[in-house]
Amino acid sequence: MKTSESHFKSTSIVDLSTVILENSIELNNEKDLDFLIAKIADAKYVLLGEASHGTHEYYTWRMKISKRLIEEKGFSFIAVEGDWPDCYKINRYVKNYKDAGDSALDVLKTFNRWPTWMWANWETVALAEWLRSYNTNQNYKVGFYGLDVYSLWESFDEIIKYLDKQDPLTKEVALHAFRCFEPYNRGEGQEYARATRMVSLSCEDEVIDLLTKIKRRMSTYIGDPETLMNVEQNAKVIVNAERYYRAMLAAGNKSWNIRDRHMVDTLNNLMQFHGAHAKGIIWEHNTHIGDARATDMVDEGIENLGQILNEEHADGEVFSIGFGSFQGNVIAGREWGDVMQVMQVPEATKHSWENELHKLDGKDRIVFMNDEVKKQIGTIAINHRAIGVVYRPKTEHYANYVPSKMPLRYNAFIYLDETSALHPLHIKPDGHQMPETFPFGV
């Protein structure tokens, strides 16, 4: 994904500031979300993005929107860019399952795979406690799930633990598959990826055999429907994690596409599990929820969840909301696996989407990508900032912007002029209690 000044020359054809002002509203408080909620209408999928994985305001505004969708429009679950086994612990807690934990804080403290701060943070504690409280008086309980593909080892642990009592024969199949990976250590899969490049050996057959046997035996397993769904989903994670890690060192973007396809498949499974009237809220980075066809990602053969959902569903069924800011602070690492730290996010670069919004008196606002906006600026590719879990502020002007046709990438965009860093659980507040900035109802 490349940045180029040439993408902005065509902006002189239209007055971008006028287009934004005429199709946006200021965002000052939760009441200002009314028009956005109305615009979402009867969408079955609401995709809530973020321009980084470590910004406080992105989490809190997504929570406010999610609460409204759950209370007013009957959404069934929140699915996030997180690991299935870890997020399923939150799901059990918010639904008040037996032995699910005494507090969201206790559950989230068990999240120990880097980048821990993405979900082990005070903002997610507040969300989980609100969901648990909301579910207390509901016959139909709202769930919380992870869509990602990384949890190879954790998913093995969950399956082996379950099969130990339910199906000893299939447990042996699981152990056989697990042993195939053992020489490569528990980690992010790099050793396995390198090994499969050196020799024509892989664990593909073993993991597919495991999933096949679990599917065949599913009708004999004892447990509530969600527990059984959890077992099968962990097996699917293992299959796709093996494919992802085998592809990660190859040229091209095959591993990215495997990952996003897995997230879509997981979302489809959740929709099927929750029934014909299911509706899902998805929390992921802008690079996953914003339609890839509106960026230069498409030129590199990259597809993402937002694109796939838009291609597979009718107009009005998918509503995506991007997020971004002009400056502030963020939690990130300078390298993969690095110690997390608060970093300064510099002012957005000249001519970027974020800079154009900042010039409008620096006010937070919601921009609506209606037909008129598409008509006026839908052909203009303008740089749009994206910060990952790895961030190097000094190189961001050429490494962290994605040329985007904004009205084609999102249905709406929430701009926050200055944002602050997320609050990881590892940063202990005074008295080891939830900070005042995260009251129960945030």
325 & 240 share domain: no
Long-range contacts of 169-177 (CB under 8 A, 24+ apart): 170/210, 170/213, 170/214, 170/217, 173/209, 173/210, 173/213, 174/210, 176/206, 177/203, 177/206, 177/207, 177/209, 177/210, 177/238
Q: What is the pLDDT of residues 31-60, one digit of tens each?
A: 999 999 999 999 999 999 999 999 999 999
- Is there a domain that residue 438 lies in? no
Q: What is the pLDDT of residues 187-228, one digit of tens each?
A: 666 677 777 665 556 899 999 999 999 999 999 998 899 999
80 & 36 share domain: yes
228 & 307 share domain: no
Residue after which a domain boundary falls, among 203, 223, 255: 255
- Is there a domain that residue 268 lies in? no
Rounded CA-CA distance 428/433 in Å is 8
215 & 291 share domain: no
135 & 156 share domain: no
Percent of the chain residues topping a pLDDT of 90 = 81
Range(s) of the domain holding residue 325: 5-140+279-432
135 & 219 share domain: no
Q: What is the pLDDT of residues 128-164, one digit of tens each?
A: 999 999 999 899 999 999 999 999 999 999 999 999 9
CATH number reported for the structural domain that contains residue 425 in this entry: 3.40.1660.10
- Is there a domain that residue 145 lies in? no
290 & 230 share domain: no
Task: Give 134's Cβ-side CA count (13 Å radius).
Answer: 25
Q: What is the pLDDT of residues 327-336, one digit of tens each?
A: 999 999 999 8
199 & 297 share domain: no
pTM value > 0.85: yes
What mean pLDDT, rounded, does the chain reach? 91
30 & 175 share domain: no
114 & 9 share domain: yes
- Is there a domain that residue 207 lies in? yes
- Taking residues 61-89, what's their average pLDDT? 98
299 alpha carbon, distance to own chain's centre: 23
Q: Burial, 34: exposed, middle or buried (Cβ in 10 Å; 0-12, 13-18, 19+)? A: exposed
- Is there a domain that residue 170 lies in? yes
324 & 421 share domain: yes
Q: Burial, 140: exposed, middle or buried (Cβ in 10 Å; 0-12, 13-18, 19+)? A: exposed
- Is there a domain that residue 402 lies in? yes
- Is there a domain that residue 147 lies in? no
Structural domain count, the chain: 2
291 & 314 share domain: yes
- Is there a domain that residue 419 lies in? yes
